[in-house]
Amino acid sequence: MYRIRFHGRGGQGIKTASRILGTTLFMEGFEVQDGPRYGAERRGAPMFAYVRASMEPIQERGIIRLPDLVIVTDDSLIPIPAAGVLTGVAERTVLLINSDEEPGLWRERLALAGPILTLPAAAHAPHINTQLTSVLSTGAAANLIGVISRRTLEEAIRKELAPLGAGAVEVNLENGLKAFDLTVVLKGSVREGGKTQAASYDPPDWIDLPFEEAAISAPAIHATATSERVKTGVWRTMRPVIDYSLCNRCWWICSTFCADGVIRVDEEGYPRIDYEHCKGCMICVAQCPRHAISAIPEHGEDTGERQE
Amino acid sequence: MNEPKFRYMKDLPSARLLGSGTAMCAGCGGLQALHGIYDILGEKTVFINAAGCMTLLSVYPFTPFRGSWLYTSMASAPAGAQGVRDGLDILLEKKRISTEEDLEVVVLTGDGAAYGMGLSSTSGAIERDLDFLYICYDNEGYGNTGQQFSGATPHGARTATSKGPRGFTGFKKDLFSIWAAHRPAYVATIAGAEPLDLANKIEKARNLKGPRLLIAIAPCPTGWDYRPEDSVDIGKLAVRTGIWPLKEYIDGKVVHTKIPHPRLPVEEYLKRQGRFAHLFTPAPDTALIAEIQARVDGYWKGVV
Ligand SMILES: Cc1ncc(C[n+]2csc(CCOP(=O)(O)OP(=O)(O)O)c2C)c(N)n1
Ligand code: SF4
Ligand SMILES: [Mg+2]
């Protein structure tokens, strides 16, 4: 059985990518499962989708824990533990990353022994067109799996994207097939994983809790603004940075217009961005009358604190 | 007329009372407006929220609010508010809470609830002269479920359920007038992109009693299809093109609080949003654009 996991951000078209890949496998005669996973989070938040394909009936359910192929459409997700990109990645797992950094660098960084491939074309897709990264990875994945013909890929893209109109179909076809052709030499590098059984899974680190009354198991919360415990900074792909030499201290502009209320004023009247929660909408960049705020890309491990 | 409390942007509160870390989209115009509203209403509030995007604000155990929050079905937030208000009144009467501990009851719903499913229960609440605030964040569609059209969707907009060449063929309901026809204490339209006007209206509403209802335009990058950074610009353009009139109803009269002059052509607003892209490509639909412009012009002819 093939077990494939896509990791990306809400809005990048991951759900569609897994759907298209699932359709190609179905058209090639496989039994297929495909499904997206996301919570209440929205555009920009980490999410994943997965595909299982087998010539035999699929009895497995739920999240894929031992993937044969992991596709990452946004490399800034890799260092985020909550995104779970590396869950179950073993020596035989192929990791396909949309990144303009070398596979060797990723191997070193992640200390992984298995095959790592990068798709720089996708990383260079224009920012607004992030959806294209998903079709690029679908195209590449189709060839890596090795059992999907170019023609099937073409048909599946047409079929799944038809509701978006002819223009969208053409752009996606062009990019999906381009990625397919680029990966020709790697055809078939992903191999089917064997049968798994519940017993073969490592048991998770369960903590057994006794059944408690509602008052204990679901206590009333009286604390205020607890949402601040949720670090929505991980949604960000671009980071707004204030150049304090240009800042006019008219905080009431950027701070009032900030949709998430994460720009506070310090004692000297300078706006300070809370990067733990800033989602990277860039309204502040658009509104600052002095153009003192600019957007810089978030990079791999460089997600720590940086201001000034 | 009284002097407005906030004269300049720098008079606005800088507290940012509403917690961050919510599940709203990056660049959500509704959330931006809610920040401004909450900074003025303050923490002595209880929110009654009908199903919609903002339901995801408070997902146990997380909440951005500093007070209580009650979730209701889409149609019945004003009925929920009645129950909460009655409960508070009973506690006050029995002296179980002091007037200091009393709370402002605030209904928070999307347009799907306000213009459609919840209209009947709002009408009933106004009829009973319920002492509450109603805040509708109007993203002009069922945002939470993928932007299907609602009673607030504007003519010509593409939605998940109006994908034809002319977009949504119906017309946006005039909820302001529907509400005002009930003769409540206060009705106003607001925009997060016009924070000063917003703050003064919330301050005014806060100091009145009875039903007070506000509709905030809520530019929605996800549903309206534009880049999140454009949210505030799009809100400002809605006002400057005259598409979103800023006004209030008080003491039986409607007053426009910001008359755009000169009014920008509606294209300036429409062309920035993917939901109107079919009006411009492959060829401009000049007839439909002119129709939208004529409707806006007709509105303002009656005002000035
Ligand atoms: C009676 C009922 N029908 C349908 C739904 C499903 N539903 C949940 S949120 C939502 C959209 C609400 O739209 P709106 O009030 O405009 O709020 P928005 O999602 O745009 O914030 C719908 C249809 C529901 N919760 N209840
Ligand atoms: S769908 Fe629109 S209204 Fe809903 S959270 Fe996202 S931006 Fe806000
Ligand atoms: Mg809505």
Model pLDDT, residue A216: 82
Q: How far apart are CA A99 and CA B127, in angstroms?
A: 60
Report the pLDDT averaged over residues B34-43: 97
Whether residue A113 is contained in a domain is answered as yes
Q: Which of A158, A175, A195 is the last residue of a domain?
A: A195
pLDDT score of A195 more than 60: yes
Cβ partners under 8 Å of residue B91, min gap 6: B97
CATH code for the domain in which residue A293 is found:
3.30.70.20
CATH code for the domain in which residue A28 is found:
3.40.920.10
Residue A91 and residue A239 share a domain: no
Model pLDDT, residue A299: 67
Model pLDDT, residue B217: 98
Do B20 and A260 count as a contact with CB atoms less than 8 A apart?
yes
Nearest C-alpha neighbor of B48 from the set B75, B32, B72 = B72
ipTM above 0.90, yes or no: yes
pTM: 0.83
Model pLDDT, residue A130: 55
User: Which atom of ligand 1 is the closest one to the Cα of B139?
Assistant: 20
pLDDT score of A305 more than 70: no
Rounded to 5 degrees, what angle do the CA atoms B207, B208, B209 make?
Answer: 130
pLDDT band at A243 (very low <50, low <70, confident <90, very high): very high
pLDDT band at A306 (very low <50, low <70, confident <90, very high): very low
Domain that holds residue A252: 223-297
Listed by number, the residues of chain B in 7-36 with a beta carbon closer than 8 Å to a beta carbon of chain A are: 9-10, 12, 14, 16-29, 31-32, 35-36
Residue A107 and residue A34 share a domain: yes
Q: How far apart are CA B150 and CA B110, in angstroms?
A: 10
Task: Give the residue, by CA position, lying nearest to ligand 2 atom 1.
Answer: B143
Cβ partners under 8 Å of residue B30, min gap 6: B24, B53, B54, B110, B137, B139, B192, B216, B218, B220
Model pLDDT, residue B2: 66
Residue A230 and residue A93 share a domain: no
Report the domain count for chain A: 2
Residue A268 and residue A119 share a domain: no
Q: How far apart are CA A156 and CA A172, in angstroms?
A: 11
Residue A142 and residue A86 share a domain: yes
Residue A177 and residue A250 share a domain: no
Residue A116 and residue A17 share a domain: yes
The DSSP call for residue A153 is H
Residue A237 and residue A178 share a domain: no
pLDDT band at A41 (very low <50, low <70, confident <90, very high): low
Helix (H) / strand (E) element for A297: namely strand A293-297
Residue A227 and residue A126 share a domain: no
- In tens, the pLDDT along A268-296 reads 999 999 999 999 999 999 999 999 999 99
Q: Which of A179, A195, A211 is the last residue of a domain?
A: A195
pLDDT score of A199 more than 90: no
CB of B262 within 8 Å of any CB in chain A?
no
Q: How far apart are CA A244 and CA A247, in angstroms?
A: 5
Residue A243 and residue A118 share a domain: no
pLDDT band at A132 (very low <50, low <70, confident <90, very high): confident
Whether residue A239 is contained in a domain is answered as yes
Question: In terms of CATH architecture, what is B9-301?
Answer: 3-Layer(aba) Sandwich (3.40)
Model pLDDT, residue A205: 81
Q: How far apart are CA A179 and CA A74, in angstroms?
A: 16
Q: How far apart are CA A296 and CA A153, in angstroms?
A: 35
Cβ partners under 8 Å of residue A189, min gap 6: A94, A115, A117, A144, A146
Whether residue A240 is contained in a domain is answered as yes
Residue A154 and residue A64 share a domain: yes
Residue A147 and residue A10 share a domain: yes
Model pLDDT, residue A84: 92
- Top mutation candidate among B28, B31, B32, B57 for ligand 2, by most atoms within 8 Å of CB: B28
